[in-house]
Amino acid sequence: MYISHRLDELFEIADQVTIMRDGQTVSCDPIENLSVRVIAERMVGGELAEGVRSAAAAGEPMLVLEQLTLDGAFQDVSLTVHRGEIVGLYGLVGSGAAEVGDVIYGLRKSASGTVRIGTSTRAVRSPAHAKQRGIRMVPANRSQQGTFSFQSIAFNIGIGSLNLLSRLPGWVSPRAERSIARRLIDRLAIKTPSERVPVRSMSGGNAQKVVLARQLVEQPEVLVLAEPTQGVDVGAKEEIHQIVSDLANEGAAVLVITTDLGEVLRISDRILIFRAGAITAELPPTASQAEVLAIAAGQVGEES
């Protein structure tokens, strides 16, 4: 049994292909009866609803990558995200797209190339340095990288901006912490009886909003979102998409790195397809799901 999203591999090794969607079997057919187009259409299963984006005009370039390379992950990646714009970076698992976000935020050091924020070309040395330059990031793994699950909502929102919560080194004002938390709870419509509730008791969607809220305490100029709605229900996904759209319309430059096909089509102003460590295509959000998936899988021009 071989489990893969890489459709080109299936035609090299498979005798029979079973397609699953949303935890259920969609079809099971001999490989000779299938094409990439047919598989892609069965995988996505129908058209998306209309997008939530009502974008304002994009402004000046805010995030510019020039020939960025991380050995073993990606090479010569160049892209631009303008103020007020949401750019979707879509790739299948293992494409290398996730590592692009790590380099932008200073979690990993690139082998070559530059990351420019506004007019600055200084290298991002660390997450702390990235924050100083107005970059904020929501990591892909909420439970391991994004939350202190046994701590309160207020703690989780405030922990990234201790400079705003303390007048003396090492001392945090509980009143300031609660005030900031309540403001962002209201802004993001986080469902909770109190900011004192531990994050581990929340639903996945509300916990993800807490992670996003932490990045909004200090107005970000560049927001990097890795799998921003992974593990949340449909209602929470819609709410998070609307929040991100509003942030872009308020002037943030947003890069969404995702393996969720519906998400990248629903929220992006432009879609960059990432495959095998490189950007291989740029598409408008009006592209079909099957077209995006086929390009990401490395098969373009297959007959249906």
Per-residue pLDDT tens digits for 58-73: 789 999 999 999 999 9
Whether residue 234 contacts residue 68, with contact meaning beta carbons closer than 8 Å, is answered with no
pLDDT in the model for residue 57: 67
CATH 3.40.50.300 residue ranges of the chain are 83-109+121-296
pLDDT at 48 over 50: no
Q: Indicate the helix (H) or strand (E) that contains 213.
A: helix 204-216
What confidence tens digit (pLDDT) does each residue in 3-28 have?
876 777 889 999 999 998 767 899 99
Which tokens hold the place of 217? 């305490």
Q: Which homologous superfamily is 83-109+121-296 in?
A: P-loop containing nucleotide triphosphate hydrolases (3.40.50.300)
Q: How far is CA 138 from the centre of its chain?
A: 7
Q: Tell me the CA distances in angstroms from 96 to 191, 279, 298, one per residue in order.
A: 35, 10, 14
Which residue in 54, 117, 116, 109 sits closest to 86, CA to CA? 54
Whether residue 36 contacts residue 12, with contact meaning beta carbons closer than 8 Å, is answered with no
Strand pairing partners for 28? Answer: 18
pLDDT at 85 over 70: yes
Q: What angle is formed at CA 90 by the lines to CA 87 and CA 91, rounded to 5 degrees?
A: 155
Average pLDDT on 90-110 reads 93
Q: Tell me the CA distances in angstroms from 58 to 45, 51, 247, 248, one per residue in order.
A: 32, 18, 13, 9
Q: What is the C-alpha R_g of the chain?
A: 20
Phi, psi of 16 (to 5 degrees): -145, 145
Whether residue 91 contacts residue 84, with contact meaning beta carbons closer than 8 Å, is answered with no
Strand pairing partners for 80? Answer: 64
What confidence tens digit (pLDDT) does each residue in 122-161 have?
767 788 888 888 899 998 887 778 788 889 999 999 988 8
DSSP states along 221-282: SEEEEESTTTT--HHHHHHHHHHHHHHHHTT-EEEEEES-HHHHHHH-SEEEEEETTEEEEE
pLDDT in the model for residue 77: 96
- On average, the pLDDT of the chain sits at 87
Write the single-letter amino acid at 292: V
Stated pTM of the model? 0.80
pLDDT at 303 over 70: no
Q: Please, what is the end-to-end C-alpha distance for the chain in angstroms?
A: 25
Segment 240-244 long-range contacts (CB within 8 Å, at least 24 positions apart): 240/205, 240/208, 240/209, 240/212, 241/52, 241/266, 241/267, 242/52, 243/188, 243/209, 243/212, 244/86
Whether residue 17 contacts residue 31, with contact meaning beta carbons closer than 8 Å, is answered with yes
What confidence tens digit (pLDDT) does each residue in 195-228 have?
999 999 998 889 999 999 999 998 889 999 999 9
